[in-house]
């Protein structure tokens, strides 16, 4: 690669760290994915607290944009809070019969604090952190995610990137608040899938729910303005009548495009 065309995106930084890939039982993973169903009715049985905690830890291992972790997980613990959350989930059986409900929230403005946290961690790390990593969080991240009031800075970036884009490939989004919501929600949704697969791995089941009153949910959770309710996830022990029917997926040719 010519030096002048190198950037933080296309160059491999200097570092010594190594982490070997562990081997996984693929058949078990196939079983995990295939047995995850949206379960709408749960048995009246608890999930041990340490299992929920572990599943939340696993949710937080999901890949996430720039490692800025723009997610939050709200776990109603009191009977009254849970009742309110069930009500905000429109009283769906997947919520009312669930042993636990986790509401997954995306945050569009925590990236600044998290970028500073990354810089702090890098500066105090015993491992040598490449300069490009520091500069990524100190310079590129603020450029990429600052949108300004009424996304005015975003508009300026959009115009700049439009012209720059004539000469080379460039990342063009996010350049407004709506795109920040998409940005944070993509990442939060990946955590949701991790969370659901984690519960399945521990023998429990889940149902993701976007059928909810987001306004009421925001109030119940006491969310700040930049927060977006991504989905609520009911979890528990699958009831015999918990799955409403066989899984339906359309033919794979409809979706998998070999190009
Ligand atoms: C973002 C999202 C929102 C969903 N919202 C609801 C919901 O509000 N209520 C519900 O019963 N199922 C809900 N589902 C579950 C889907 O209906 C279900 O995933 C789909 O029918 C496929 O079935 P499967 O999950 O068993 O494979 C939701 C799923 C996703 C991914």
Question: Residue 4 has what pLDDT?
Answer: 52
Task: For the full predicted model, state whether its pTM sits above 0.85.
Answer: yes
* 8 A C-beta contact, residue 135 and residue 118: no
**For position 249, what pLDDT does the model report?**
98
| Cα separation, 3 vs 188, whole angstroms | 36
Domain residue limits, the chain: 37-108+177-239, 112-164
pLDDT classification of 3: cutoffs 50, 70, 90: very low
Query: By the 8 A CB rule, do 65 and 183 touch?
Result: yes
Q: Which of 16-20, 39-43, 156-160, 206-210 has the lowest mean pLDDT?
A: 16-20
Per-residue model confidence (pLDDT) at position 11? 82
Place of tokens 């500066």: 123
Lowest mean pLDDT among 5-9, 66-70, 124-128, 167-171: 5-9
Instruction: Tell me which of 92, 97, 104, 208 to substitute to probe ligand 1's pocket, judged by most ligand atoms within 8 Å of the beta carbon.
Output: 208
- Determine which residue's CA is closest to atom 1 belonging to ligand 1: 210
Quick count: other Cβ atoms within 10 Å of Cβ 222? 8
Looking at ligand 1, which residue's alpha carbon is closest to its atom 18? 38
CATH class assigned to 37-108+177-239? alpha beta
Helix and strand tally (H, E) in the chain? 10, 4
150 sits in the region (left: phi over 0; alpha: psi -120 to 50; else beta) called left
pLDDT digits (tens, 9 = 90+) for 69-124: 999 999 999 999 999 999 999 999 999 999 999 999 999 999 999 999 999 999 99
Our answer on whether the CB atom of 249 is closer than 6 Å to any ligand 1 atom is no
pLDDT tens per residue, range 192-228: 999 999 999 999 999 999 999 999 999 999 999 999 9
């Amino acid at each position: 690669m010519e030096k002048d065309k190198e950037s933080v995106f296309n160059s491999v930084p200097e570092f010594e760290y190594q982490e070997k890939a562990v081997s996984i039982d693929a058949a078990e993973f196939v079983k995990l994915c295939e047995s995850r169903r949206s379960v709408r009715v749960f048995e009246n049985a608890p999930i041990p607290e340490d299992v929920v905690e572990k599943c939340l830890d696993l949710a937080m291992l999901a890949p996430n944009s720039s490692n800025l972790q723009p997610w939050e997980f709200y776990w109603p613990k009191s009977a009254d809070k849970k009742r309110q959350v069930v009500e905000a989930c429109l009283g769906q059986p997947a919520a009312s019969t669930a042993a636990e409900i986790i509401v997954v929230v995306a945050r569009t403005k925590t990236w600044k604090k998290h970028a500073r946290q990354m810089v702090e961690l890098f500066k105090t790390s015993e491992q040598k952190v490449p300069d490009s990593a520091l500069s990524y969080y100190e310079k590129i991240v603020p450029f990429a995610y600052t949108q300004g009031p009424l996304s005015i800075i975003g508009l300026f970036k959009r115009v700049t990137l439009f012209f720059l884009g004539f000469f080379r490939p460039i990342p063009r989004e996010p350049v407004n608040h709506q795109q920040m919501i998409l940005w944070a929600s993509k990442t939060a949704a990946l955590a949701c899938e991790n969370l659901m697969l984690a519960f399945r791995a521990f023998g429990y089941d889940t149902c993701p729910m976007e059928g909810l009153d987001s306004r009421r949910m925001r109030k119940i959770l006491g969310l700040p303005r930049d927060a977006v309710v991504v989905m609520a996830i009911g979890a528990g022990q699958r009831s015999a009548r918990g799955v409403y029917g066989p899984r339906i997926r359309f033919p794979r040719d409809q979706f998998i495009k070999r190009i």
